[in-house]
């Protein structure tokens, strides 16, 4: 179902039997992220090292709007097979009883024919709601990725990809349990 139908959307989001989750994929680059920073006028301008590489880590992620629980999975590539593995992981990690409503973008592998039999088999447990094209601002997990970059990669130098992996995975481990920080970021008004 696409989120363009507002009447259906309201019914789905307001139903007490549904558990709303936001899903997206993200890359974290070894060269980190540079951002502005304040330096006292009497001090020299800082020099920030930069890894001249294109290495990165790739993650699937889904966050619960109700609890702030984050589920992630590393992926060498984003495709229908890895997406299906991630969907199974999301279902295993959540509470039983409520139907999972997964809000996500329109990546080709989200619509793949190979995942349709599994979705049909589990239609009482999970439903995919697709955002309108080019609307990442409607997907609240984007806020989680932004905060992760601020916490883990802003103005930091990673000599190796393993250092980046360690830092990001450590943050994901903290957010694996339901938490107030992500709940506030991703709650539905």
- Write out pLDDT tens, residues 107-144: 999 999 999 999 999 999 999 999 988 888 889 999 99
Tokens of 130: 């697709």
| pLDDT tens, per residue, the chain with 189 residues | 555 555 666 666 667 778 899 999 998 887 656 655 566 777 776 666 555 567 778 999 999 998 999 999 999 999 999 999 999 999 998 767 789 999 999 999 999 999 999 999 999 999 999 998 888 888 999 999 999 988 988 877 788 889 988 999 999 999 999 999 898 888 765
Helices then strands (H, E): number in the chain? 6, 5
Q: With 0.85 as the threshold, say if the pTM is over it.
A: no
Q: How far apart are CA 140 and CA 22, in angstroms?
A: 6
Structure confidence at residue 103 (pLDDT): 94
Closest-CA residue to 27 (of 71, 64, 51, 59): 59
- Please tell me the class of the 6-32+49-186 domain: alpha beta
Looking at the chain, the whole-number percentage of residues with pLDDT higher than 90 is: 50
Report pLDDT digits (tens) over 15-29: 777 889 999 999 888
* Cα 188 to Cα 9, 143, 174, distances in angstroms: 12, 13, 22
Radius of gyration of the chain (CA): 18
- Which residue pairs, CB below 8 angstroms and at least 24 apart, start in 111-116? 112/79, 112/80, 112/83, 114/80, 114/81, 114/84, 115/80, 115/83, 115/84, 115/87
Structure confidence at residue 102 (pLDDT): 95
CB-count exposure of residue 188 (10 Å: 0-12, 13-18, 19+): exposed
Structure confidence at residue 47 (pLDDT): 60
Structure confidence at residue 171 (pLDDT): 94
């Amino acid at each position: 179902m696409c989120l363009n139908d507002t009447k259906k959307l309201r019914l789905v989001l307001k139903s007490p039997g549904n558990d709303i989750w936001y899903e997206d994929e993200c890359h974290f680059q070894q060269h980190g992220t540079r951002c502005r920073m304040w330096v006292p006028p009497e001090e020299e301008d800082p020099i920030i090292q930069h890894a001249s590489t294109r290495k990165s880590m790739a993650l699937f992620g889904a966050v619960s709007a109700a609890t702030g629980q984050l589920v992630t999975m590393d992926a060498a590539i984003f495709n229908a097979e890895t997406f299906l593995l991630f969907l199974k992981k999301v279902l295993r990690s959540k509470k039983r009883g409520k139907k999972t409503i997964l809000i996500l973008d329109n990546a080709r592998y989200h619509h793949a024919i190979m995942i349709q039999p599994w979705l049909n088999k589990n239609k009482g447990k999970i439903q995919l709601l697709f955002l309108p094209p080019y609307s990442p601002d409607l997907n609240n997990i984007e806020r989680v990725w932004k905060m992760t970059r601020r916490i883990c990669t802003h103005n930091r130098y990673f000599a190796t990809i393993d250092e980046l992996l360690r830092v990001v995975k450590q943050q994901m481990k903290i957010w694996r349990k339901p938490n107030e920080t992500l709940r506030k970021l991703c709650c539905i008004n």
